[in-house]
Structures are given as structure tokens and as C-alpha cells.
């Protein structure tokens, strides 16, 4: 006969021969065994959790003494203590609680977080070699993770980084300098803005097209009309894959990589988009090959093809088709969203502070005038504009967390032992808001970058591009764009808000670990 509790569940009738008393004693026994079960279950659960915690602690003890942090649970790690919609706020809380180096667990993976300028400098600059590895970038598609410059390590990364830096520094890129390419694009941007004829519009489209065109010009040797079908296709695919890679489902890969690999969801679409992008780039490479002249490289792809030619006898060369396609893809991903978000956010801040816009325009008129395009040489004579550009980058903090690093060897740091291969995340936001380096860290204040005489003053804690061996490879290019786009637009247009300035909200829309300006419209009036 099946035990009572199962018969109840299975809906079996109780036998009619059983007397009332036998039935009631059976009921009592069943109830007491059920109660026993409920008493035992929590005990078993607590024992299992304790056992797993001990295992985690023992494993960490054998791995080294990691910095302190919130107590992780088995399997989920610190998932329950982290606000995955606002990781920045969670990290700020942990920094207050545990200090400038703490450990959080993403699932069963420990991640060491570095906070504040002193700590980040000591790790990324003073111990550059140890902290210069790239950690596993979970959000990135597996088909491209092993190639290119952003997510690789060792010789591959070293060679591709050196090559990309040299090429972006303008050597061997044909007749036109990168500065000229940006100046040209800035003029196209102003022309497009003029066509809005003072009507309200959302600047996102114009700014992202202008910024993407700079990368197109550097990489493909060609800019596109903003309505060009190929260009619109390229930007659409980049945009969609960017969103998917930073979606919550993709972020959950950090916690449960194995599970997320098989679970359905938007993150499973990423490889499809990657394939489209790689196909697009491969077609462009093929077109380049047909008109390639090794003595006159026109752009990044030509320079790479020339390097492939030079190294064709070397069987271990890193200059091959896969690395070419993914490095180009890396430049698009790393160099478009960051710059265009900065430009978009910057216009919003200037709408909020029209007196600052007026002061920048006064400097533009005095140094550049209205009859020629701004050039990089002008920057050194424009301390106020330079300070505003730096302060906007500090204040808006578009990359609050650097992508994951990893330690390349067992590392002793501030009394802790971090085993080789451990993921380390520089919390750049904590640097940009470090109260020891900025007088009013949470307020927009260009004085942070000016001395008493009004000259530009560098601030070592201002690290929006990170620092050390992995410092942003496009920093030089980005700084050129940020200066030339701003000065060209303000030389030609006034910004007009649709709201009273006091009503303009400049606080960021935080999504996971990214910060974006709130959506807004504005008008541009020709000067
Ligand atoms: C406002 C604009 C930009 C910001 C705030 C920015 C910020 C960053 C940050 C924080 C990193 C991570 C550094 C680290 O791992 O510690 C990075 C890496 C990188 N950035 Fe940028 N970036 C910008 C523009 C660009 C542009 C225009 C390009 C390319 C043309 C670019 C290409 C890269 C690449 C390739 C890496 C990976 C470097 C490596 O792993 O060796 N970035 N950037």
C-alpha cells in the first residue's frame, strides 16, 4: 500500500475496510512525519549552504587571500546583493563598506574591484605588467573573442595593439591626416544641422552618423552620405548588436555562463549580427584588395594588408584575415558609441549652462574666428574650452567600469594575494568622482581643470580612458573628435533649449553598468 501522503497526492481512495481509529492513527503518523520532513528540510538546506560556503572559502584560501566583500551564496555568488539594473550604485555601496579593494562573486567567479585614484594607479601603472591582462569578456560573442585587440592577450594582443596605435597615430595613412578627416566630417555635421532650420530635433542620429563616419573614413578610406543604404545597414547592425551585448540576458552570462549558453533569449541573436558585420567587413577588404597598392596605403585596411604582405612567409604571423576583420570590428564598437554618447551628453549640459556655451563661443571667436575651420593647434590657446571638454567627460562618466582585466601572475596587492587569472575590474567612476582629487566631485564644474590664472590644469585622477597597458587605444582619436566637433558646431550654431534651463535634468540614465544622457530634443540656430 502506498504511503498516505503519496496516495493523497495521487488521489487514491482510502480503503473502506479501514476503521476510523486506524485511519486517524495513520493520519497522525503521516502528519508527524510531514512535520518531521519540514523540520529536516531547512536543516538540510542550511547544512548544504554551509558546506558549499566552506568549499568556496577553502578554494579561495588555497587560491590566495582575496580582498574582503559581501558573503557569496553558492552558485549565484553575490547576485542577490547586487542591483543588476544599477551595478554602479552597488559598487559604491561596497566601496563604502569594504574599502578601495573588494571582491564580488559573479556566480562562482570572484571579481576584484579597484576603487579610487590611488588604488587604480598603484595597480594599473605601478604594477602595469601584472594588471595588464584582459579578463574574459562574457558579453562578447564567442566567435570573435579570440581575435582582434580588445579581448585578446599575449603576443596577439601586443602585436595588434602596437600596429593599431601606430596606424591611428597617422603614420602611413596616405595623403590625408586623421585631423583632416574629422574636420571634413564636422563640416558635414554642421551642414546637416543647418537643414533642421531651427526646428526641434533629437541629436542622436546626426551625432552617431558623424562619429561613425570618422571611423569609416579611417578604416575604409571613405565616408558615407547619412542616408546611404550600406551605411544605414552597418549602423543598424552595430546598434542592435551593441544593445544585445549589453542586455540583461547577456549580462547574466557573467553569473551563469553555462546556463545562459543554452537558455533561449535575445543574447542568442548576437552571433547572427556578428556574422553580418564580419561579412560586411570582409566584402570591404575584398574591394580594397582589388585596388591595393602597397606603396600608397589609403587607410587602416590597406596598412593591415601591407603588413600581411610583409609577413606572408611567417607562419606564426598575427596579421591574417580573422585578426583584420575583428580588429576593424573592435574599432567600430569601441569608437562609436563612446564618442557619440559623449557628444550627445555634452550638448545637453551646455543647454543647462548657457553661460558656459557663451564663454566657449567667445573663446572660439577670439582664437579661431568665423572664417576658417578649427584645428588641433588651436587647442593650446583655448584653456576654457579644453577645461569644459575635460570636465564634461569627468562628469558624465560614460565608461564607469573598465572592461574586465585579469592578473597575469600571482599578485600581492595591498596585503592580499590575487591568484593568476583572477578577473579585476577598475571602477573608473570612483576615480572621476574621487573627493581627494575633485573639490565638488558630484557637480559639473569646469574649475576642476583650471588654475587661478585661468590656465588649463591637468588632473591626474581624470581617467575616462583608463590607464596602464590597456589604456584606450583610441584616446588620441577620441580627443581630436571631442575638440573638433564641439568647436566646429559652436562656431556655427547656437544651442536652444525647449525647456527652462532650471528644468533640464542632466542626471544620467543608468542601465546596468552604462550611463546615458536622458533623451531630449533641442534647436540649433545658425550664428
Ligand atoms: C569618449 C570616447 C572613449 C572613451 C571614454 C573610451 C574609453 C575606453 C576605456 C575605459 C577602455 C578600457 C581600458 C581598460 O581596459 O582599462 C577603452 C579601451 C579601448 N578603446 Fe576606447 N574609449 C573611447 C573612444 C575610443 C575610440 C574612438 C576608439 C577607436 C578608434 C577606441 C578604441 C578602444 C580599444 C581598441 C580599446 C581596447 C584596448 C586594449 O584592450 O588594449 N576607444 N576605451
Give the model's pLDDT for residue 372.
96
Grouping H, G, I as helix, E, B as strand and the rest as coil, residue 145 is helix
In the predicted model, residues of the chain with pLDDT beneath 70 are 1-64, 171-175
Q: Which three cell numbers stand for residue 11?
A: 488521489
334 lines ligand 1 (CB under 6 A): yes
Is beta strand 423-427 parallel, antiparallel or unpaired with respect to 109-115?
parallel
Of 133, 331, 334, 486, best ligand 1 pocket probe by most atoms within 8 Å of the beta carbon? 334
Instruction: Report d(CA 93, CA 81) in Å as an integer.
Output: 10
Going by CA atoms, what residue is nearest to atom 11 of ligand 1? 472
ipTM for the predicted complex comes to 0.99
pLDDT for 525? 95
Ligand 1 centroid vs 470 CA: distance in angstroms? 8
If one residue of 474, 477, 516 were mutated to test the ligand 1 pocket, choosing by the most ligand atoms within 8 A of its CB, it would be 474
pLDDT given for residue 462 in this prediction: 97
Q: Is 403's C-beta closer than 6 angstroms to any atom of ligand 1?
A: yes
In this predicted structure, what is the pLDDT of residue 57?
56
Our answer on whether the CB atom of 465 is closer than 6 Å to any ligand 1 atom is: yes
Assign 89 to helix, strand or coil: helix
- pLDDT on residue 34: 53
**DSSP H or E segment with residue 497:** strand 493-497
State the pLDDT at residue 15.
36
Place of cell 550600406: 230
Question: How far, in Å, CA of 31 to CA of 35, rounded?
Answer: 6
Q: Is the minimum distance from the CB of 338 to ligand 1 under 6 angstroms?
A: yes
The answer to whether residues 523 and 493 touch, using CB atoms and an 8 Å cutoff, is no
Cell numbers 566630417: residue: 185
Under 8 Å between Cβ of 247 and 114? no
pLDDT of residue 62: 47
SS3 416: strand
Mean of per-residue pLDDT scores for the chain: 88
Beta bridge partners of 109: 106
The confidence score (pLDDT) of residue 48 equals 64
Burial of 229 (0-12, 13-18, 19+ CB in 10 A): exposed
Q: Which pLDDT does position 117 carry in this prediction?
A: 97
> Taking CA 100 as the corner, what is the angle to CA 94 and CA 105, rounded to the nearest 5 degrees?
50
Q: Name the grid cell of 382.
A: 583655448
Give the predicted TM-score (pTM) of the model. Answer: 0.87
Cα–Cα distance for residue pair 208/224, rounded to 1 Å = 13
331 CA distance to ligand 1 middle (Å): 9
Report the nearest-CA residue for atom 43 of ligand 1.
472
Read off the pLDDT of residues 329-372 as tens digits, 9 standing for 90 and up.
999 989 898 999 999 999 999 999 999 999 999 999 999 999 99
Q: Does the CB atom of residue 159 touch ligand 1 within 6 A?
A: no
Task: Give me the pLDDT at residue 2, please.
Answer: 34
Task: Ligand 1 pocket test: pick from 137, 472, 473 the residue with the most ligand atoms within 8 Å of its Cβ.
Answer: 472
What tens digit of pLDDT does each residue of 199-210 get? 999 999 999 999
300-310 vs 321-352: helix crossing angle, rounded to 10: 150
Closest Cα to atom 18 of ligand 1: 472
Amino acid at each position: 500500500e502506498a504511503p498516505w501522503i503519496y496516495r493523497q497526492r495521487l488521489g487514491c481512495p482510502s480503503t473502506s475496510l479501514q476503521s476510523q481509529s486506524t485511519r486517524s492513527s495513520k493520519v497522525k503518523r503521516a502528519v508527524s512525519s510531514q512535520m518531521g520532513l519540514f523540520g529536516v528540510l531547512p536543516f538540510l538546506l542550511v547544512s548544504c549552504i554551509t558546506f558549499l560556503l566552506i568549499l568556496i572559502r577553502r578554494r579561495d584560501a588555497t587560491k590566495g587571500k582575496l580582498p574582503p566583500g559581501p558573503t557569496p551564496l553558492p552558485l549565484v555568488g553575490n547576485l542577490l546583493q547586487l542591483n543588476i539594473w544599477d551595478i554602479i550604485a552597488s559598487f559604491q555601496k561596497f566601496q563604502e563598506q569594504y574599502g578601495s579593494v573588494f571582491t564580488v562573486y559573479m556566480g562562482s567567479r570572484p571579481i576584484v574591484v579597484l576603487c579610487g585614484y590611488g588604488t587604480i594607479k598603484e595597480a594599473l601603472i605601478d604594477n602595469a605588467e601584472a594588471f595588464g591582462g584582459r579578463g574574459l569578456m562574457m558579453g562578447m560573442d564567442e566567435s570573435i573573442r579570440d581575435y582582434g585587440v580588445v579581448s585578446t592577450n599575449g603576443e596577439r594582443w601586443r602585436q595588434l595593439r602596437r600596429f593599431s596605435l601606430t596606424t591611428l597615430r597617422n603614420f602611413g595613412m596616405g595623403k590625408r591626416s586623421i585631423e583632416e578627416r574629422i574636420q571634413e566630417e564636422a563640416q558635414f555635421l554642421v551642414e546637416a544641422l543647418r537643414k533642421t532650420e531651427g526646428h526641434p530635433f533629437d541629436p542622436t542620429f546626426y551625432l552617431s552618423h558623424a562619429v561613425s563616419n570618422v571611423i569609416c573614413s579611417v578604416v575604409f578610406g571613405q565616408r558615407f552620405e547619412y542616408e546611404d543604404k550600406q551605411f544605414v545597414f552597418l549602423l543598424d547592425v552595430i546598434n542592435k548588436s551593441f544593445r544585445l551585448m549589453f542586455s540583461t540576458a547577456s549580462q547574466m552570462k557573467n553569473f551563469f555562463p553555462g546556463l545562459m549558453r543554452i537558455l533561449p533569449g535575445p543574447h542568442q541573436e548576437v552571433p547572427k549580427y556578428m556574422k553580418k558585420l564580419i561579412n560586411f567587413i570582409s566584402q570591404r577588404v575584398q574591394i580594397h584588395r582589388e585596388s591595393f597598392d602597397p606603396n600608397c596605403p589609403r587607410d587602416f585596411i590597406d596598412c593591415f594588408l601591407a603588413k600581411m604582405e610583409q609577413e606572408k612567409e611567417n607562419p606564426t604571423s598575427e596579421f591574417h584575415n580573422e585578426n583584420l576583420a575583428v580588429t576593424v570590428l573592435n574599432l567600430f564598437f569601441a569608437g562609436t558609441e563612446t564618442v557619440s554618447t559623449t557628444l550627445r551628453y555634452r550638448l545637453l549640459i551646455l543647454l543647462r549652462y548657457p553661460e558656459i556655451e557663451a564663454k566657449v563661443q567667445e573663446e572660439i571667436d577670439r582664437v579661431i574666428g568665423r572664417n576658417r575651420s578649427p584645428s588641433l593647434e588651436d587647442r593650446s590657446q583655448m584653456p576654457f574650452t579644453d577645461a569644459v571638454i575635460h570636465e564634461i567627460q569627468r562628469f558624465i562618466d560614460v565608461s564607469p567600469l573598465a572592461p574586465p582585466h585579469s592578473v597575469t601572475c600571482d599578485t600581492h596587492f595591498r596585503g592580499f594575494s590575487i591568484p593568476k587569472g583572477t578577473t579585476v575590474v577598475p571602477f573608473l567612476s570612483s576615480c572621476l568622482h574621487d573627493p581627494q582629487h575633485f573639490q565638488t566631485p558630484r557637480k559639473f564644474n569646469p574649475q576642476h581643470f583650471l588654475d587661478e590664472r585661468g590656465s588649463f590644469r591637468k588632473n591626474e585622477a581624470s581617467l575616462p580612458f583608463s590607464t596602464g597597458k590597456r589604456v584606450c587605444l583610441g584616446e588620441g582619436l577620441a580627443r581630436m573628435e571631442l575638440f573638433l566637433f564641439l568647436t566646429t558646431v559652436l562656431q556655427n550654431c547656437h544651442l536652444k533649449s525647449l525647456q527652462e534651463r532650471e528644468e533640464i535634468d542632466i542626471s544620467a540614465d543608468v542601465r546596468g553598468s552604462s550611463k546615458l544622457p536622458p533623451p531630449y530634443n533641442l534647436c540649433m540656430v545658425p550664428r
